[in-house]
Chains A and B, each alone.
Chain A
Amino acid sequence: MARIGVFICHCGENISATVDCAKVAETIGKLRHVVLSTEYKYMCSDPGQTLIKDAIKEYNLTGVVVSACSPRMHEPTFRRACAEAGLNPYMCEMANLREHCSWVHEKNDITTEKAIDIVRTQVEKVKLNYALQPIKVPVTRRALVIGGGIAGIQAALDIANTGHRVVMVERSPSIGGHMSQLSETFPTLDCSQCILTPRMVEVAQHPNITLYTYAEVESVEGFIGNFKVKIRKKAKSLDEKICTGCGLCTTKCPQKKIPNEFEQGMGNRPAIYIPFPQAVPNKPVIDRENCTYYIKGKCKVCEIVCPTKAIRFDQPDEILDLDIGAIVIATGFDVKHADFFPEYGYGKYKDVIDGLQFERLASASGPTSGAILRPSDGQVPKNIVFVACAGSRDPAKGIEYCSKICCMYTAKHAMLYKHKVHEGKAYIFYMDIRAAGKNYEEFVRRAIEEDHVEYVRGRISTIYEKNGKLIVKGADTLLGGQPVEVEADMVVLATAGVANSGAEELAQKLHVSYDSHKFFAEAHPKLKPVETNTAGIFLAGACQNPKDIPDSVSQASGAAVKVAGLFSQDELTREPLVAQVNRMAPPLYSTCVGCFLCQPVCPYQAIEREEFKARDGKLIKAVAKINEGLCQGCGTCVALCRSKSIDLHGYSNQQVYAEVMALLNEY
């Protein structure tokens, strides 16, 4: 026989101001099986909890209903109190009288009526509650970091320094990411590579980090603490153990006209190449798509010149199977290129470049060794125009958001130009200057006041070529939209930051959600910015949205702490509110008919196949089974199941039915 105790909270005046709590307590007290119905000013306070604990012991309660605020707020509190009094915590339910009733209604009799109804449903439900035990799952203490840019590097180092093992996967031949391409960094103008390369080396040498470059994640299965990850190590076509990285092959390769990705197409590279001199690992790879041997079947110059005979033309791709406990996604971003803009020449003008290309021009290790020379004829541009918000904040182009980093790097670009070309004139066409960050506004003011960069508020409408000059048509909106025309030698577009190529496929492999711009989605925009909605997978850096270096690094450290926190536990416990497919004695085994329609609808891939076999190995029946580690208790399978074989713990069909019937029936 159920013995239910009901505890009605006033929540100060939050509930009692509109709901007559005494009347609710009195009415509920008359219900069947309710042995105690009482009220108190603050149920969540220490005396309130003691009240519940004492009542459980005194009345020998089998179920508790706390009628107070939202379960999101205090369900754990009251369940803990019940557990301390020796009652299974899942025998405690909450009736939400605050958010669902007192806050949204006026003070009158109907409000109190509604409060009574809400409590009644929970009384009926709790009668059908049964004891549940938290689910325990083991943890593999090895993290996977996808992406070797600054965010990935920071996350990997931070995790590795807590003593846990890290596997880093980077799809290009070297780690470093976009940061290794930058010239100087705002707002301090310190050299990007000088601060990054020591970190890259640290990653390569760290005893806890295993680095796989030129590799990609092939598939991910499993759940928090227990992921099974397949990694494809693309064939580098050489034996890394033998190769000394002398680079002789890269100088002798006859194929030299391949656009250099690292230089953003501003220079060329051979088919066997090291992306940049500070690359980690500093060993070449053969780009099979452009290598003469793979295209025509003969050449092998690199093999002939290699002093250690490290070239392996027939090397296959390697697939690695890894057990992983947590994953950090740090795949970064990309920028739109000039060819995205019809009004700025569709990329047909050589001297209209994007911000990342300008970084390479300004970089001391770049194709011009740091001299600002225009790509078309190698002349120093006398007039240079920077276009901010190129593509960003432009719903017509499908990019509504602000790319966040362009205001700052455009100011930096103009400054770098002025530092190198003193007599030159730099214009920045902007819409707003968004310089929120430590020392950022000061940096922009420096560009304007000390370096005399000309800021014009207005968007560029058109760029066209006339007599070897780029005519840039803008307007000064601070002068009432007065037309402004600049004859420029070079134009730099601060193009929108967009999701990296392959982000969508990766998100699907990892079962993480992403937004309409294919940026990875966080679990909560404010309170869970590092987590994804899949437990055990975290985000770092610009794969979530365009971010500058300090933001990426902070988030990466945040993700690392999340991983370390996860790894600090021997096993993970989670709420047992998961679905279960029923089981019964042979020969039926289960009412499940094995149609597996639940499998495709499950958003968490939690439904597995269980086979019952006879002693001779003959299959008797195959039925669905739910992986408790993966199930999030959404109930989609319950609703879909044709034979009503699945039930959700804590929200069983019977319980929900009892709640509905409580509302329909007189009391």
Chain B
Amino acid sequence: MSHTATLTEKDTLAFHLEKNIDVLARKCYQCGKCSAGCPVAGEMDFSPSMVMRLLQTETPANDEKTLRSYSIWLCLTCEMCLCRCPMEIDIPSVMDFLRQKSLKEKKVNPKARRIIAFHKSFLNSIKYTGRLFELGLTLDYKRRSLTLMQDVALAPRMISRGKLHFIPEIIKGRPQVAKIFKKTSKKEN
């Protein structure tokens, strides 16, 4: 792509997005089709189109706002926005990139604490058993988020229906899974 040829080094989010994941925030012309289709836009502090606009301004204040926003953590990566976007801007990847950046720079929105706790518990479960271990996930999540009593009433019914096992099922290819984790965590650093 020709646009990379004229890329000048800048410490803005828009620049990093272009350099790292080849997404051009400036392509967005604010039609709002992403926000219109986003299932969680109503909960967001900045709707997807607003996030794109914040990135377009390329000012430190707005970049800060973006990294500290709740929106980037609410994104479900359902890709409805990408599917609808007339300019084919990969907003889910943008959100993913912003989440990593936000974590690295310790600018995580306080409201996103539980979401991150869930992410970590989920990944831990995969890391150690190779697949989702529901009970482990639940306990780990509760420990991290301190939501000890949330949804406890559901537990008996789930156990009786065989949805919550006490012993994790462990897959055969655990070393390979470990390798994936090792490789991706190395890449991040």
Give residues in A with beta carbon < 8 Å to B. 343, 389, 393-397, 431, 457-462, 473-477, 480-484
Task: Give the residue name and chain of the B residue nearest to A484 (CB).
Answer: B36
Among B42, B50, B80, B88, point to the contact of A461 (Cβ < 8 A).
B80
**Does the CB pair A397–B86 fall under 8 Å?**
yes
Query: Whole-angstrom distance between the alpha carbons of A431 and B31 in the complex?
Result: 6
Interchain CB contact under 8 A, A458 and B36 = yes
**CB neighbours of A459 from chain B (8 A):** 31-33, 36, 86
Once A431-B31, A461-B80, A475-B35 are accepted as A-B contacts, the answer to whether A481 and B85 lie under 8 Å apart by CB is: no
Q: How far is the CA of A265 from the CA of B29 in the complex (A)?
A: 35
Residues of chain A within 8 A of B87, CB atoms compared: 395-396
Chain B CB count within 10 A is highest, among A389, A397, A473, A476, for: A473
Q: Are B86 and A461 in contact (CB under 8 A)?
A: no
**Is the beta-carbon distance between B50 and A480 smaller than 8 angstroms?**
yes
Contact partner of A395 (CB less than 8 A), chosen from B32, B49, B88, is B88
Within 8 Å by CB of B36, from A389, A393, A395, A483, lies A483
| Residues of B31-71 contacting chain A, CB below 8 A | 31-38, 41-42, 46-50
Q: How far is the CB of B89 from the nearest CB of chain A, in Å? A: 10
Interface residues of B in 103-132 (CB under 8 A from A): none
Which chain A residue shows the least CB distance to B85?
A396
User: Which residues of chain A come closer than 8 Å to B30, judged between CB atoms?
Assistant: 431, 477
Distance to closest chain B CB from A386 (angstroms): 15
Bound-complex Cα distance A356 to B172 (A): 62
Measured between alpha carbons, how far is A205 from B50 in the docked complex, in Å? 60
Minimum distance in angstroms from A496 CB to a CB of chain B: 11
Contact string, B2-39, partner A, CB cutoff 8 A, digits 1/0? 00000000000000000000000000011111111110
Q: Which residue of B lies closest to A342 (CB)?
A: B83
Cβ of B165 < 8 Å from any Cβ of A? no
Chain B neighbourhood of A473, CB < 8 A: 36-37
Contact indicator B36/A475 (Cβ below 8 Å) = yes
Partner of A481, one of B29, B49, B84, B86: B49
A474 touches B86 (CB 8 A): no
In the assembled complex, the CB of B33 is this many whole angstroms from the nearest CB of chain A, namely 4
B88–A474 contact, CB under 8 A? no
Beyond A461-B34, A480-B50, A483-B42, 5 additional contacts (C-beta under 8 Å) are A461-B38, A462-B84, A475-B49, A482-B42, A483-B36
Q: Which residue from A389, A431, A460, A481 sits with its C-beta under 8 Å from B50?
A: A481
The listed residue with most A CB atoms (<10 A of its CB), out of B31, B49, B87, B88, is B31
Residue from the list B29, B32, B42 in contact with A474, Cβ < 8 A:
B32
Whether the Cβ atoms of A396 and B88 lie closer than 8 Å is yes
Residues A474 and B36 in contact, CB atoms below 8 Å apart: yes
A23 to chain B, nearest CB (A): 40
Give min CB distance, A131 to chain B, whole Å. 48
B124 to chain A, nearest CB (A): 34
| A396-B86 in contact (CB<8A) | yes
Distance in angstroms from A315 CB to nearest chain B CB is: 49
Residues of A within 8 A of B80 (CB): 461
